[in-house]
Structure 1
Amino acid sequence: MTKAIVYTSSTCPYCTMAKDYLQEKGVDVEERNVQTDAAARSELMEKGYTGVPVIVIGDEEIVGFDKAKLEKILDK
């Protein structure tokens, strides 16, 4: 099964859309909320990102809810 880490915040509608989309595609989603989890916030900043969602699938990192890019990665 494909696994994804999704960095989110509590008030981000695109984060919810991304999680829902991935779950519909049968992806195992691990959510890391940067608003409530200081370690997740640090991880995200170390990767060089300050906004969410950031979706990590394998060695691919997708900033934002980019459905076309996600489909390309999931169809590999």
Structure 2
Amino acid sequence: MDKNVVIYSSDSCIYCREAKNYFRSIGVEFEERNVSKDVSARKELMAKGFMGVPVIMVDQEIIQGFDKRKLDELLR
């Protein structure tokens, strides 16, 4: 699979944890940008117009929240 997957997350976000566990369970590699530890990641996320996490990017598509159905669609 040649998809570029990035997840903006935080330490206290349950849905972020679920999304990361889901990616691992189906063998999808992802880059995590933790906004609770990385100020530049937080600024990046805000510049995209988002204040909450998770925000997941699959190539150029952006998903706010953990939408498993939409992720399955984009990861095919």
**Where does structure 2 lack aligned partners over 5 or more consecutive residues?**
none
Report how many aligned residue pairs link the two structures. Answer: 75
State the percentage of identical aligned residues.
Answer: 51
Matched position secondary structure for 2:73: helix
- Computed over aligned residues only, the root mean square deviation of the Cα atoms, in angstroms, reads 0.9
**Structure 1 residue matching 2:30: 3-state secondary structure:** strand
Q: If the length of structure 2 is used for normalisation, what is the TM-score? A: 0.93
Calculate the TM-score normalised by the size of structure 1.
Answer: 0.93
Query: Which segment drifts farther, 22-31 or 46-55?
Result: 22-31
State the shift of 1:73 in Å: 0.5
- Corresponding residue of 2:14: 13
Unaligned runs of at least 5 residues, structure 1: none
Shift of 1:3: 2.9
After the TM superposition, list the runs of 4 or more consecutive aligned residues in structure 1 that deviate by more than 6 angstroms. none
Q: 1:28 Cα deviation (Å)?
A: 1.0
Match of 2:24 in 1: 23
Alignment of structure 1 residues 34-49 onto 2, 5 Å:
34-49=35-50
Aligned: 1:61 with 2:55: no
1:18-63 Cα distance to aligned partner (Å, 9 max, x none) = 0111122221111111011000000000100000000011001000
